[in-house]
Chains A and B, each alone.
Chain A
Amino acid sequence: MVRILGFLVGLGFAGVLLISLVTNLAQYISEPPAPTAEHEFHLHPKEVSFASDGPLGKFDRQQLQRGFQVYKEVCAACHGLQYVAFRNLEDLGYNEAEVKAIAANWQIEVPSINPDTGEAATRPAIPSDRFPHPYANEVAARAANNNALPPDLSLITKAREGGAPYVYSLLTGYQAPSEKLLEEFPSAAPGEGLHHNPYFANLNIAMPPPLTSDGQVTYAEGNPEPTVEQMAKDVSAFLIWTAEPKLESRHRAGVASLLFLLVATILAYMSYRNIWAEAKRKVAPKGPLDPEHMAHREDAKADAAAHGRGVEG
């Protein structure tokens, strides 16, 4: 009974699926889907490496400081960093006094309350504050940016497929749309207030090119030339840190755990072999009773029987 019902149910589902398949195929053949500009012209992130890559990767603190400088001077006007606190900057190698000064001099003040009147007010940031939002709320952010919302950057390298290389590619990927693109997909040309960038999912991004010229940010003595590529790479490295500030502890703990587990596994394996040696037996069905072997024997017997040299049994 179960099997008859099951048979009918199986036939039902499989049948409807095959009907779906045939219908879709017919539709696909009669009107093949048009290729899209995103599909044809979207590019994968460029190959770029960071000091924090790989299982032993560590942050390059000089680079993080440069990246922070780029963030501060270029990105921070529109993009927040709401999950990062000023005190976290000590991880980048700044000392307590420097962090205090960075917080106190930050271009945006922290919302507070006037202690005398109770009215909304602002005060200079202190190290325990998180980076204040550049806009009071989403509506204000959109109003100031041609209805586009500048995303918070704290987690951006984890919140985008492709991670930091994507951020780097996006920052260095602004270019005029190719003639081929405009020829094939005239509608893919950037509209009012949009900018062509083949690394962006739909090719047209609302953010104007943030890094436009070499030397836009002045690095301190002893740092590399602030070319657009260098600045983009530095700020991407900085954003790896903002998204995953515990990366170095994670890598260290990982190496230690794996080494420990390796030794533990070897010891436990020796102990296992030692205990099983006492059972003195192989455990897998190998040898003459291996099912494969049995199958061959059955074939050979049948063959022999067919040729009249029958082996009964």
Chain B
Amino acid sequence: MSFAWAKPYEPTTALGRWMDDRLPLPRLVYGAIGGGYPVPRNLNYLWNFGVLSGVFLTIQIITGIVLAMHYYSFTGGAFWSVEHIMRDVNAGWFLRYAHANGASFFFIVIYIHIFRGLFYGSYKAPREMVWMLGLVIYLLMMATAFMGYVLPWGQMSYWGAQVITGFFSAFPLVGEPLRVWLLGGFAPDQAALTRFFSLHYLLPFVIAGVVVLHIWSLHIPGSSNPTGVDVKNEKDTLPFHPFYTAKDGWFMLAFLMLYAAVLFFLPNALGHADNYIEANPLATPAHIVPEWYFWPFYAILRAFTVDFIIPAKLWGVLAMFASILLLFFLPWLDRSPVRSGHYRPVFKRFFWLLIVDVALLGWAGGSAATPTVVAVSQICAAYYFAHFLIILPLISKFEKPLPLPSSISASVLHGEEEESAPYGLAKSDNA
């Protein structure tokens, strides 16, 4: 898109020109997040969470590298080294709390980012690849977070590793050998801890690589927007810099206040007390729960309690994997030509129902498995699958969307002359 203000990059200094001829990195940045990237002018604050997730990835990588300078990936010393960081390393407590809570905040941001995409149909053509790469990032994040939680070698670390690798043993024949291979032993031990540390260090850089692809694929069609209407002309857009850098900047600082409040005043609120007890392979905690961001999936896993043709455990594991994998097919499950949920009255209602449903699943996953909790997770898990696999395709077939604005500018700029006679009315009556 070449708009008047989206001028091609022009280096102003001699050094800039020299650089541009040899390694046009500034040109790349200018086109990606500078004045050269045209962005729809009507983005709301939900669109800030993309940049924000990049911020948290950076926080995690930096604090993680630094913590790795003090951490021992040794079963006899891992827990000790964490306490050493907390007590003796200069500013160690800050770095560890920043990393542990940073993981939670990364997931908060990512969940808002994902649900924003779900509501505004950001997964639809031509952005399917953006969506799928985003899901790959999400899967990598889950693997990274799980392995990171094992590293302090507390009780929850150990039993989390035991339970999660236990998923694999649900598969017939190959399951148990696969689990033993993954752990390098018959239970989580030194071999597992060392490989988890190695991969926990590696995966964030893989994530960063996929983030580059995610942004690259986004820049082909350009950003979506709350109306879901395509950009039609220059008036619909603003340059990323300075408009969205300013908006992302202030919102990032405001969000960091929330992060700082938790980091400094409630640093253990999102964790679990049992992880301050060193791992003990001979005693299971009363109530094993994963970190909060896995609760909905944990609820789906536990919801299957009947051996129907195949064992309940295998149903649970398959459903848990399916609950994420089905999102890859979303662009083809929801065929409505309208992107934004604002113009889809039926979809909108079911979308809010989905939010409630996932919240309930989260609550169920974090609670002890009483009959009520299990019943709630069964109803909610059933709705989860029905929502994506049955309801969405049906809605997209039968729903009558509301009329769309003719362009982004039309939705946001009704000029002064139209102020007296409302814009939309004047237009449709004359048609």
A and B, direct touch (CB closer than 8 Å): yes
Q: Is A185 in the interface zone, CB < 8 Å from B? A: no
Residues of A near B238 (CB, < 8 A) are: 279
A33 and B306 form a contact (CB under 8 A):
no
Residues of B near A18 (CB, < 8 A) are: 378, 382
Kindly identify which residue among B264, B345, B405, B429 contacts A285, using a CB–CB cutoff of 8 Å: B405
Which of A107-115, A167-175, A258-266 participates in binding chain B? A258-266
A160 and B304 form a contact (CB under 8 A):
no
Q: How far is the CA of A254 from the CA of B41 in the complex (A)?
A: 36
Select from chain B the residue with minimum beta-carbon distance to A160. B273
**Binary contact track A272-296/B, C-beta < 8 Å → 1, others 0:** 1001100101111101110101110
- The B contact surface, by secondary structure, is helix
Using A9-B389, A246-B87 as known contacts, say yes or no to A261 and B402 having CB atoms under 8 A apart: no
A265 and B250 form a contact (CB under 8 A):
yes
Q: How far is the CA of A28 from the CA of B373 in the complex (A)?
A: 13
Using A6-B326, A288-B423 as known contacts, say yes or no to A265 and B247 having CB atoms under 8 A apart: no
Q: Is A298 in the interface zone, CB < 8 Å from B? A: yes
A254 and B265 form a contact (CB under 8 A):
yes
Q: How far is the CB of A43 from chain B (nearest CB, A)?
A: 17
Q: How far is the CB of A274 from chain B (nearest CB, A)?
A: 8
Interface residues of A in 169-214 (CB under 8 A from B): 201
Interface residues of B in 269-312 (CB under 8 A from A): 273-274, 276-277, 286, 303-306, 308, 312
Residues of B near A246 (CB, < 8 A) are: 86-87, 93
Q: Is B172 in the interface zone, CB < 8 Å from A? A: no
Interface residues of A in 1-44 (CB under 8 A from B): 2-3, 6-7, 9-11, 13-14, 16-21, 23-25, 28, 33
- The A contact surface, by secondary structure, is helix
Residues of B near A13 (CB, < 8 A) are: 315, 319, 322, 381-382, 385, 389
Which of B26-34, B68-76, B409-417 participates in binding chain A? B409-417
Kindly identify which residue among A28, A243, A250, A297 contacts B425, using a CB–CB cutoff of 8 Å: A297
How many residue pairs link A and B with beta carbons under 8 A? The number is 210
Q: Is A220 in the interface zone, CB < 8 Å from B? A: no
A275 and B242 form a contact (CB under 8 A):
yes
How many chain A residues touch B (CB < 8 A): the figure is 70
Using A3-B332, A246-B86 as known contacts, say yes or no to A254 and B308 having CB atoms under 8 A apart: no
Q: How far is the CB of A246 from chain B (nearest CB, A)?
A: 4
Residues of A near B322 (CB, < 8 A) are: 9, 13
Residues of B near A295 (CB, < 8 A) are: 345, 402
Q: How far is the CB of B198 from chain A (nearest CB, A)?
A: 27
Kindly identify which residue among B253, B267, B335, B382 contacts A265, using a CB–CB cutoff of 8 Å: B253
Q: How far is the CB of A161 from chain B (nearest CB, A)?
A: 5
**Binary contact track A152-170/B, C-beta < 8 Å → 1, others 0:** 0011001111000000000
Select from chain A the residue with minimum beta-carbon distance to B227. A285
Residues of B near A283 (CB, < 8 A) are: 41-44, 412
Residues of B near A154 (CB, < 8 A) are: 83
Q: Is B94 in the interface zone, CB < 8 Å from A? A: yes
Seed contacts A16-B306, A83-B87, A253-B264; 12 additional CB < 8 Å A-B pairs: A17-B379, A17-B385, A55-B264, A55-B265, A159-B276, A261-B260, A272-B246, A283-B412, A289-B405, A289-B411, A291-B402, A293-B424
Residues of B within 8 A of A (CB): 41-44, 80, 83, 86-87, 93-94, 97, 226-227, 238, 242-243, 246-247, 249-250, 253-254, 256-257, 260-261, 263-265, 267-268, 273-274, 276-277, 286, 303-306, 308, 312, 315, 319, 322, 326, 329, 332-333, 335, 342-343, 345, 371, 374-375, 378-379, 381-383, 385-386, 388-390, 393, 402-403, 405, 410-414, 422-425, 428-431
